[in-house]
Amino acid sequence: MGRTRNFYLQFGFTLLVCSFLIVPVIMSVMAGITENFFKGIASGVTLKWVWQVWDLYADTIFLSMLIAIACLACTIVLGVPAAYVLSKRQGAVARAIEELLTLPLAVPGLAIALALIVTYGGFRDFRASWLFILIGHVLYTLPFMMRSVLAVLSSADFRTLEEGAASLGAGFWRRFFDIVIPNCRSGILAGSLMVVTLSMGEFNITWMLHTPENKTLPVGLADSYASMRLEVGSAYTVVFLVMIIPLLIALQKWGQPRKTRPVVEEPELPSGGRQGGKTDG
Amino acid sequence: MKDRELPSLVVLVLPVVVVALAFFLLPLVRLTMIAGSGEDGLGAYLAVVTTPRYFESLLATTLLSAGVTFATLAISAVSGLFLERNRFPGRNLLISLLTFPLAFPGVVVGFMVIMLAGRQGLIGDITKFLTGDKLVFAYSMAGLFVGYVYFSIPRVILTIMAAAEKLDPALEEAARSLGASPWRVTRDVILPALKPAFIASGAIAFATAMGAFGTAFTLATNIDVLPMTIYTEFTLRANIAMAAALSIVLGIITWLVLTVSRSLAGSTVAAAG
């Protein structure tokens, strides 16, 4: 099949979109290792901005890692059992719980943070600790863990597996830990990658909840963009990219646990009918 | 057997329910109450529409988000369909690059806009070379628009590509064999079939743009979008009741948009912030 003019037009457009997304990334990488960005790369290549970032902001990197790992632990402990329960029950109570747990996705982070501050801001020690930030992150990432695990739970035939185990005499908890959890691994992995990536980059909630002693990486980034020279901000961005790229690659590789989806009546019938109507008109 | 399981299931789900009630629902209720406890009482909610400053901010944010949504949908539809329907060398690389910024937080996206359209940005350099005048628009509504489109493209493209993959080729062939031109096939067969994906991803793009804070924060503190207004009320003016009322209104808007779109699109593709 020969390429038509149409093909090249769309190809060109897509290349343009791609460069819109990627050129600024390349520019900031270059700015981060250039002696003086205003004069250009000819002024010399240096790592001094990266070292400066390390001196100024290393603690933000460690805090972000700590929070991401703690957040991951919380979402696994809280989210995996919840996903299992929701996969087994579809009653009104289960629906209400699911609604409640996914609601943080629909509410802007700023509102969640404000709500937390007006409710728990009075507990000084709690307010000042990183645990306060952790709570915001857990609320925000929990739905992603649950969705990944639910996708696996609804695709594999867990009922047969469980019934088999039950007929062999395995009790509820034995089945949960020995059958359900191990078979959810791909969902837990995908969810974990998502949770860590989102927690590392979370800003909307964190900015309101952070204190000068507890700055995460994105908070530090905002700080450096506002108060440091462009090269330092760029170098800091490069550090963030270096940390996030392995996660992204892993996400592309293992991030899709959904083989089949629970949706039943999606295919031809409804859309086919509607199209018939539209083409006529 | 089912009912014997019930106590165990309750034990499994109880912790997460307690956490969500204590740290999410209760705080939201408290925020709603605080919004009505300021000098004007429940008038704080009314002030969102009667005070020009707040109403203009609400209007500007809504218009900006709508514009971002349509621009992103248009761009992503062209590129997403192209990538899904053609096979050529380098295709996978293109897809990887287009979805690369997926994990960028709003602050980083703001910095990317500064790289493109800021004082030392690429567009400034190019326009200076071409016309002698430096075009700088990063620190304004236009910069925010560019930033939100940047932020939304990867997400929307992925949704559209996933939906396009599931299209039934027979429909298209039928249309073509009946003599429809490629343009008519696109307009009358492909785009209508992708409608659920457009609604779902468009709603997410809209809601995300309404509530986004990081990009605006990086670009300038004086762009009057709702999240910035809330932030200013809370920190600079210490008007907590008003900040709470504005947050609640914002939350209700984004929640409504997502809920309505979910029932329209019939699927649970969901957001990221």
SS (H, E, C) chain A: CCCCHHHHHHHHHHHHHHHHHHHHHHHHHHHHCECCCCCCHHHCECCHHHHHHHHHHHHHHHHHHHHHHHHHHHHHHHHHHHHHHHHHCCCHHHHHHHHHHHHHHHCCHHHHHHHHHHHHCCCHHHHHCHHHHHHHHHHHHHHHHHHHHHHHHHHCCHHHHHHHHHHCCCCHHHHHHHHHHHHCHHHHHHHHHHHHHHHHHCCHHHHHHCECCECCHHHHHHHHHHHCCHHHHHHHHHHHHHHHHHHHHHHHHHCCCCCCCCCCCCCHHHHHHHHHHHHHC
In a domain, A131, yes or no: yes
In a domain, A23, yes or no: yes
CA distance A118 to B28: 9
Lowest mean pLDDT among A68-72, A183-187, A191-195: A183-187
Dihedral through CA A20, CA A24, CA A26, CA A29, nearest 10? -160
In a domain, A186, yes or no: yes
Grade residue A2 by pLDDT with cuts at 50, 70 and 90.
Answer: low
Domains of chain B from N-terminus onward? 1-35 (no CATH), 42-265 (1.10.3720.10)
pLDDT at A8: 92
Closest CA to A236 of A253, A215, A254: A215
In a domain, A8, yes or no: no
B162 near A CB under 8 A: no
Cβ A103–B24 below 8 Å, yes or no? yes
Rounded to an integer, the average pLDDT of A272-279 is 30
CA distance A219 to A221: 5
Phi (first) and psi of residue B133, to 5 degrees: -105, 140
H or E stretch including B82?
helix B52-85
Cβ B120–A112 below 8 Å, yes or no? no
Cβ B15–A77 below 8 Å, yes or no? yes
Instruction: Judge whether residue B186 has pLDDT over 70.
Output: yes
CB atoms within 10 A of CB B101: 21
CA distance A194 to A148: 9
B163 near A CB under 8 A: no
| Chain A from 15 to 74: CB within 8 A of any B CB | 15, 17-18, 20-25, 27-28, 31, 37-38
pLDDT at B2: 54
Residues of chain B positioned with their CB less than 8 A from the CB of A10: 78-79, 82, 86
pLDDT at B223: 83
In a domain, A119, yes or no: yes
Beta bridge partners of A81: none
Structural domain tally of chain A?
A: 1
CATH number at residue A196: 1.10.3720.10
A128 near B CB under 8 A: no
Pair B148, B68: CB distance under 8 Å: yes
Rounded to an integer, the average pLDDT of A165-177 is 88
Instruction: Judge whether residue A216 has pLDDT over 90.
Output: yes
Grade residue B222 by pLDDT with cuts at 50, 70 and 90.
Answer: confident
In a domain, A274, yes or no: no
pLDDT at B168: 84
In a domain, A1, yes or no: no
Buried b (16+ CB within 10 A) or exposed e, A112-142: bbbbbbbbbeeeeeeeeebebbbbbbbbbbb
State the smallest CA–CA distance between residue B107 and chain A in angstroms: 6
Q: Where in the sequence is the domain holding A60, given as residue range(s)?
A: 18-261
ipTM: 0.88
pLDDT at B266: 66
